[in-house]
Every structure is written in structure tokens, then in C-alpha cells.
């Protein structure tokens, strides 16, 4: 069982236990009654069934009691749901994007990360979105699970009273690598969080294009070691020939160059590479012209790098 680190979610466990407790209680009572009735009123002891017509008090009790139980269970669920849906004013905002198959968190100062960092005892409003298909943001230790639906902005809030690292899962089946869509929540002391937030991420001397591609999650699908895993590989592709299908079904061979890559990133659905299904989302509006050029330069092998390609062994 996961620890419980979110005060607004403490009632979730209580609601769960209350519902479980009632269910077990009713199961036991009904089973005991059934066994007793089997014994007491079987055919040998009671050859003639009693004919009973109407009993107002029995009807009042068997209608009223279940109604009260159901209302009580509803109330335990409703109070904890309400606490988790009431986002405190002034909460720190973090944008959380789910995509096939990784996470991107964007903080108020523009810093991004693929693992979530938050300060302790601070309410955090998560603005949830999905790039491609439905994902679900799930932090078991917070008892928080909220769907991320393309085209619909949803939100959730979290707060931790305990330092440490906790799991974040995607809780909605979203394709081949759904099971890999796991990341970490880091709860830090306030000063450590501020220091992390202000720190410029270390890009290890990587070209800008590569850093952008890692941030964007390109390598969740595209490999750089020549293997066509889920999508076409991206190493040594400058000048490569690709067979594409134009909508309408016509096939033609094109050469991978700047124009091809620009189209593949911005309007990937316009032309399909033969043999690959149309799963690449559009990144229209995602990059500045400068950043897009940096990515294309990197893919065409024009960017200088002191760092190895992703997927390559470091000697
Ligand atoms: Cu994203 Cu499952």
C-alpha cells in the first residue's frame, strides 16, 4: 500500500474503508440469514409455506435502511471528492502534458522537466493536457487520478506533507508503450526546490536541436541507432530515400531534406511514409522558427556536438 502524503486525499482512504466495511458487513449478514433460513425453513421442517400478505413496517425498514446506507456512503465519497476538486487560491501552477509515451512538466518560469518537482506543503495546481490520445495522470501516494483528454483542459491539485520520491503512472491505456509511461514526483524542501527551479538544466554540451528533441519526446518513438522501432529511425537520414503515400493512395519516392523534415514535423498526416501508420502528432506552433531549424539541422547531421547521440554507447 502506498503511503498517504496529501491531506485533502486522506478522506479517500476513509471513504474506501467505509464502503469496504459496509460491503463486508452486508455480505456476512445476508449469508448468515440465508444459512439460517435454509436450516430453519427447509422442506422437511416446513412442508407448507406460510402465505404472508403485506407488512407495512417491514417495507418501511427495507426501503429506509438501504437508502440511509447509500446516502451515508455517498456522503463519505462526496466530501473527499469536494476537497480534492476545490483548488486553493494562489496555488503554484505547473502544466503537465501527457504524450505517447512520456511526460512534460512546465513551471511558471518556463523551466521544463520530464519528472515532476514540487516544494513541500505547497498547493500545486496541475493544468493537465494531452498531445495525442487520452492519458491519465495518476499519483497513487496522493490518491489523485485525473484523465488527460486531447482538446479538453482539465486540472487537479496536489500537495505533499512528506519529502521524498513517489511514482507517477499513466492510468489510461494509450498504446504500445503505455506501461513505460512512468515518471517520478520529487517533493523537495522549499529552498532546494527554488534552487532547482532557477538552475539552468545541464545540456551536457548537446546541440540545441537534440536537447529540444529530447524535451519534446521525439525519442519515445524514433530511435537513433538505425532500428525502426515504432517509427522510422532518425540517424544518418540526410539524403535517404523514403517511399511516401500521398492521400489518395499514390506512392512516390522522396529524398529526406530540409523541406521533407519540416513537413514531417508540422503536417505529418499530409503524407504517410510507406509502412508506418499515421501516429505522429503535429508539432505546428510548438517551436519557434529558430528552434525548428536547430532540430532539422541536428537531424540532417549539420549540428556540431560534443555529446554522443542518444542510444549510442558511451565509450
Ligand atoms: Cu499514457 Cu497510458
pLDDT tens per residue across span 96-155: 999 888 999 999 988 888 899 999 999 999 999 998 899 999 999 999 999 999 999 999
In percent, the amount of the chain with pLDDT more than 90 equals: 39
User: For position 106, what pLDDT does the model report?
Assistant: 93
Beta bridge mates, 169 = 138, 182
| Cell numbers at 88, concatenated | 486553493
pLDDT tens profile 11-57:
888 888 888 998 999 999 999 999 999 998 888 888 888 888 889 99
Does the pLDDT value for residue 259 go beyond 90?
no
- Give residue ranges with CB within 6 A of ligand 1: 98, 101, 135, 170, 172-174, 178, 181
User: For position 314, what pLDDT does the model report?
Assistant: 42
Question: Looking at the domain that runs over 92-198, which CATH code has it been given?
Answer: 2.60.40.420
Does the pLDDT value for residue 240 go beyond 50?
yes
Residue 59 φ/ψ, nearest 5 degrees? -65, -40
Does the pLDDT value for residue 302 go beyond 80?
no
C-alpha torsion angle, residues 74, 80, 81, 86 (rounded to 10): 140
Beta bridge mates, 254 = 242
State yes or no: ipTM above 0.95.
yes
User: For position 1, what pLDDT does the model report?
Assistant: 67
Q: Could you tell me the distance, in angstroms and rounded to a whole number, from the CA of residue 301 to the centre of ligand 1?
A: 32
Closest atom of ligand 1 relative to the 171 alpha carbon: 2
Confirm if 186 and 117 have CB atoms less than 8 A apart.
yes
Domains of the chain, residue spans: 1-38+59-86, 92-198, 208-299
Pick 208-299's CATH classification: 2.40.50.140, 1.10.760.10, 1.20.1440.230, 3.30.420.10.
1.10.760.10
Compute the radius of gyration of the chain from its Cα atoms: 28
Beta bridge mates, 105 = 96, 113
Q: What sections of the chain are H helices per DSSP?
A: 10-40, 56-85, 190-198, 208-216, 258-266, 289-299
Closest atom of ligand 1 relative to the 175 alpha carbon: 2
Does the pLDDT value for residue 192 go beyond 50?
yes
State pTM to two decimals: 0.75
Phi/psi zone of residue 174: left (φ > 0), alpha (ψ -120 to 50 degrees), beta? alpha
Task: Write the residue with the smallest CA distance to atom 1 of ligand 1.
Answer: 135
Closest atom of ligand 1 relative to the 99 alpha carbon: 1
In percent, the amount of the chain with pLDDT more than 70 equals: 93
| Cell numbers at 185, concatenated | 514526483
Beta bridge mates, 99 = 102
Amino acid at each position: 500500500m502506498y503511503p498517504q502524503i496529501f491531506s485533502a486525499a486522506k478522506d479517500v482512504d476513509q471513504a474506501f474503508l467505509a464502503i469496504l466495511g459496509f460491503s463486508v458487513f452486508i455480505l456476512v449478514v445476508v449469508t448468515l440469514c440465508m444459512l439460517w433460513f435454509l436450516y430453519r425453513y427447509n422442506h422437511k421442517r416446513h412442508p407448507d409455506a406460510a402465505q404472508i400478505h403485506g407488512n407495512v413496517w417491514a417495507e418501511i425498514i427495507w426501503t429506509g435502511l438501504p437508502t440511509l446506507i447509500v446516502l451515508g456512503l455517498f456522503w463519505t465519497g462526496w466530501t473527499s471528492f469536494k476537497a480534492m476538486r476545490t483548488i486553493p487560491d494562489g496555488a503554484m501552477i505547473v502544466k503537465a502534458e501527457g504524450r505517447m509515451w512520456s511526460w512534460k512538466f512546465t513551471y511558471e518560469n518556463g523551466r521544463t522537466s520530464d519528472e515532476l518537482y514540487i516544494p513541500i506543503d505547497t498547493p500545486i495546481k496541475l493544468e493537465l493536457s494531452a498531445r495525442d490520445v487520452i492519458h491519465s495522470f495518476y499519483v497513487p501516494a496522493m490518491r489523485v487520478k485525473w484523465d488527460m483528454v486531447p482538446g479538453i483542459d482539465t486540472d487537479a491539485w496536489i500537495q505533499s506533507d512528506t519529502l521524498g520520491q513517489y511514482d507517477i503512472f499513466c492510468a489510461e491505456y494509450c498504446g504500445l508503450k503505455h506501461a513505460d509511461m512512468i515518471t517520478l514526483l520529487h517533493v523537495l524542501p522549499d529552498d532546494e526546490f527554488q534552487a532547482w527551479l532557477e538552475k539552468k538544466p545541464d545540456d551536457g554540451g548537446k546541440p540545441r536541436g537534440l536537447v529540444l528533441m529530447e524535451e519534446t519526446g521525439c525519442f519515445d518513438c524514433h530511435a537513433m541507432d538505425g532500428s525502426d522501432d515504432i517509427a522510422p529511425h532518425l540517424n544518418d537520414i540526410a539524403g535517404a530515400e523514403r517511399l511516401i503515400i500521398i492521400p489518395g493512395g499514390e506512392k512516390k519516392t522522396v529524398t529526406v531534406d530540409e523541406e521533407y523534415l519540416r513537413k514531417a514535423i508540422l503536417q505529418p498526416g499530409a503524407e504517410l511514409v510507406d509502412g508506418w501508420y499515421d501516429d505522429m502528432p503535429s508539432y505546428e506552433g510548438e517551436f519557434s522558427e529558430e528552434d525548428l531549424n536547430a532540430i532539422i539541422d541536428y537531424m540532417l547531421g549539420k549540428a556540431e556536438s560534443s555529446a554522443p547521440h542518444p542510444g549510442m554507447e558511451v565509450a
